[in-house]
Structure 1
Amino acid sequence: MIPSLLPTYNRVPLAFAEGQGSWLVTDGGERYLDLGAGIAVNALGHAHPALVEAITDQAAKLWHVSNLYEIPGQQALADALVEKTFADTVFFTNSGTEACELAVKMARKYWYDEGDHDCVEIIGFEGSFHGRSSAGIAAAGGEKLTTGFGPLLPGFTHLPFGDLDALKDAISDTTAAVIIEPVQGEGGIRPVSDADLKQIREICDEAGVLLIFDEVQCGVGRTGKLFAHEWAGVVPDIMMVAKGIGGGFPLGAVLATEDAASGMVAGTHGSTYGGNPLACAVGGKVLEIVSDEAFLAEVNRKAGLLRQKLEGLVAEHPAVFDSVRGSGLMLGLKCKAPNTDVLSACYDADVLVVPAGDNVLRLLPALNIDDKDINAALERLNTAAEAVETAIAAQEEQDA
């Protein structure tokens, strides 16, 4: 008999009753150090007082009216994003998946309005993740995402990660845009180098195609800049944002230049809930806090501290870990042991991390994690690694 919750998740048998900062507490009172932050969503941790105040104040006034009417908080958040980024205009969604849908539509509509009705192809890269909608899985193209869901939405091409020669060769008269994550998340915390991002921008400019950055996971302060592409000194034409922008409340956005968004006129797109008063009240407070230069400087300091300690962890446990990768507080532990085994040991050590592709475990802590919590995290990760080493030794002895 099918359960009342559709069984699309292999859920861990853990249920949390409350959270504070970087900690989660079960109904039984067990405390877990959260290095996953709801998969990079809880940018300011759990129950941040400024976010609690923002949503409580707004909830007492107005929750939802729809986009049939003006929403002052939505306008204020859009103005702030335009002020702080490359963008000229913003559309608010509820999720990164919805942001992907609009990004694809926006790129194709741009060329349609330019009179090039055959210019519809979107070029992406292997190992990417752009959500689980029809456009999202078609844009990513991975077998795990697409099997059984055909026929897939046409008009997508997938190239090997990092192969810019292949990108040059793949762009044709029918190419509308290139879509890429500056740091792949689900694919195993794989950053695109600054040099490659610059070259991709140059390739797109030379070919006259649009460039879409997916910063759903790597944006909103996660890498130590407000958005990851800022490290390379390049800008996209269209950018997808979600996760951290809502600090735990469902909120996403598509940011674009005036030119790239020129085809999206009244009636071409919509969202019933997107950018509602509750979401924008929280999003506005998150952006205010995270975009502060002093806050981002602390993100970079903490990222350096955490990475240094993780490098030491890898050196101490060479049978368990291979290396550390990533940027800012978006880090990955590349494992030698199966990452599922290390993940299980982390649960036993009361520390939460997130699995990813390429046998990697993601560490995506709250951006305001305390130094003492970083130290506690390493103690627990070390306990997990020791447990995995013990299991490896026992298996080797049994095999002998």
Structure 2
Amino acid sequence: MTNKLSVTRATFDDVMVPNYNPAQMIPVKGEGSRVWDQAGTEYVDFAGGIAVNCLGHCHPAMVQALTEQGNKLWHLSNVFTNEPALRLAQKLTDATFADRVYFANSGAEANEAALKLARRWALDKFGPEKDQIIAFNKGFHGRTFFTVTVGGQAAYSDGFGPKPGAIEHVDYNNLAALEALMSDKTCAIMMEPLQGEGGVISPDAEFVKGVRELCDKYNALLIFDEVQTGFGRTGSLYAYQQLGVTPDILASAKSLGGGFPIGAMLTTAEIAAHLKPGTHGSTYGGNPLACAVAEAVFDVVNTDDVLAGVKQREQLFKTTLQQINEKYGVFQDIRGQGLLLGAELTEKFDGKARDFLNAAAAEGVMVLVAGPSVIRFTPSLIIPEQDILEGLARFERAVAKLAG
């Protein structure tokens, strides 16, 4: 039998590497959009594990898939394939532009694979001079050294020595700056179709179409990082499907597994052919447990009812947040798409987003930040309306205390 130790938040400081600073409470149970901590205190979950728990906590379809697969087969390695991986890949290719799928364990790994594939594609087709990757300031693409360098936030990439080269950045939504930087040396452009960590910033329609046209002009690949926006988060299976622009490579994770670690890179057959056997790999990527759970998530999320429901919930969130703001005047903007929403604080509260996060937790609701001045909401895609209203009522109490 397992000998379960008694642990508290103080245990974290004693045994964990201090790269995180978690909340003082420790969640121990979740059901739907509610969470309970060690003391039995209940919280409404608007954080969703940072846009991961797309079906909330312990959704029956996920629990059933995990239980059934857990009694069959856990791990094989990629010396062999497996049925859950093949079924999930078939469903993803049937539902998207892609012909081929590579499975990984996280969004960072999916983006790493996308970037390596783009470089290999360019090398094979055009030679070693075509290696420039362009991304956008305030972007976020993961924590590997390659992806954190491509992400446009120096605070995450500086301080670790020499960075991967031939990577440059321009401002999001600045098409002229991008065009000035591009040339025949450009291998790929990587972008989020809605910036998440950078402040929940939507792209201009002309900007996205212009990026696609520039990629076509200079024979560069367009990589969409849909780690946060994908799998129903914006009201379609993937955000690109609402933009009128199709990427060459797409990275998916977070909601893909609904809480079980999995990532995927999607691309065309022609591009995928450049990752020949031995060029890239993952010990756990595409394991039967993760793929079985992700398939169950896919079957729930990729339905008209759920995707339309995301849009309905978006409006309820925005309307209620506007009503709160009419009383307290703390937000200068409420923005985002689907259930990836951001409330930017006014100048009076500039830099105090974490204060709002902490105050909300004290009132029994879990939210996120997206930079120092934006409060982020990424709840379950199927969160009940009554949970939205209850959570926002608790959030309003937190706002009232901070607004004075």
Give the shorter-chain TM-score range. over 0.9
Residue 284 of structure 1 aligns with which residue?
A: 295
Q: Amino acid of the residue matched to residue 157 of structure 2?
A: T
- Quick check: 1:13 aligned with 2:24? yes
Structure 1: 4+ residue segments shifted above 6 A: none
- SS of match in other structure, 2:317: helix
Residue 92 of structure 1 aligns with which residue?
A: 103
Q: Deviations over 1:238-291 (max 9, x none)?
A: 011000000000000000012222211111111100010000000001111111
Residue 390 of structure 2 aligns with which residue?
A: 376
Q: Amino acid of the residue matched to residue 211 of structure 1?
A: L
Matched residues in 2 for 1:234 and 1:129: separation? 21
- Quick check: 1:72 aligned with 2:83? yes
Q: Amino acid of the residue matched to residue 180 of structure 1?
A: M
- Quick check: 1:204 aligned with 2:215? yes
The range that moved more, 26-35 or 331-340, is 331-340
Q: Amino acid of the residue matched to residue 329 of structure 1?
A: L
- Quick check: 1:299 aligned with 2:299? no
The partner residue of 2:60 within 49, 54, 65 is 49
Q: Amino acid of the residue matched to residue 93 of structure 1?
A: A
1:357 positional shift? 1.4
Matched residues in 2 for 1:174 and 1:3: separation? 49
Q: Amino acid of the residue matched to residue 255 of structure 1?
A: L
The partner residue of 1:361 within 375, 382, 397 is 375
The range that moved more, 300-309 or 23-32, is 300-309
Matched residues in 1 for 2:312 and 2:387: separation? 14
- SS of match in other structure, 2:111: helix
1:108 positional shift? 0.5
- SS of match in other structure, 1:184: coil
Aligned CA distance change for structure 1 residues 201 and 358 (closer, same or farther; 3 Å): farther
1:12 positional shift? 1.1
Aligned alpha-carbon RMSD (Å): 1.3
Residue 101 of structure 1 aligns with which residue?
A: 112
Matched residues in 1 for 2:393 and 2:316: separation? 14
Q: What aligned pairs does 1:108-187 form with structure 2 within 5 A after superposition?
A: 108-187=119-198
Matched residues in 2 for 1:120 and 1:243: separation? 29
Q: TM-score, normalised by structure 2?
A: 0.94
Q: Structure 2: 5+ residue runs without aligned partners?
A: 1-12
- Quick check: 1:332 aligned with 2:346? no
- SS of match in other structure, 1:114: helix
1:358 positional shift? 5.2
Residue pair 1:212, 1:237 contacting (<8 A) in 2 also: yes
Residue pair 2:53, 2:380 contacting (<8 A) in 1 also: yes
1:200 positional shift? 1.1
Residue pair 1:100, 1:135 contacting (<8 A) in 2 also: no
1:141 positional shift? 3.5
Residue pair 2:25, 2:38 contacting (<8 A) in 1 also: no
The partner residue of 2:366 within 352, 357, 374 is 352
1:193 positional shift? 2.5
1:118 positional shift? 1.4
Q: Deviations over 1:62-102 (max 9, x none)?
A: 10011100211101100100000010100000000101110
Matched residues in 2 for 1:115 and 1:200: separation? 21
Q: Structure 1: 5+ residue runs without aligned partners?
A: 391-400
Residue 4 of structure 2 aligns with which residue?
A: none
Residue pair 1:229, 1:235 contacting (<8 A) in 2 also: yes
What is the aligned residue count? Answer: 389
Residue pair 2:353, 2:372 contacting (<8 A) in 1 also: no
Q: Deviations over 1:311-352 (max 9, x none)?
A: 22222211x222201001100011122112211211111110
Matched residues in 1 for 2:271 and 2:174: separation? 25
- SS of match in other structure, 1:265: coil
Matched residues in 2 for 1:331 and 1:112: separation? 39
Residue pair 1:311, 1:323 contacting (<8 A) in 2 also: no
The range that moved more, 326-335 or 112-121, is 112-121
Q: Amino acid of the residue matched to residue 316 of structure 1?
A: K
- SS of match in other structure, 2:118: helix
Identity of aligned residues (%): 42
Matched residues in 2 for 1:313 and 1:219: separation? 29
Q: Amino acid of the residue matched to residue 29 of structure 1?
A: G
1:298 positional shift? 1.1
The partner residue of 1:25 within 26, 31, 36 is 36
Q: Amino acid of the residue matched to residue 388 of structure 1?
A: L
Residue 332 of structure 2 aligns with which residue?
A: 322
The range that moved more, 139-148 or 236-245, is 139-148
Residue 5 of structure 2 aligns with which residue?
A: none
Residue pair 1:194, 1:231 contacting (<8 A) in 2 also: no
Q: TM-score, normalised by structure 1?
A: 0.95
Residue 200 of structure 2 aligns with which residue?
A: 189
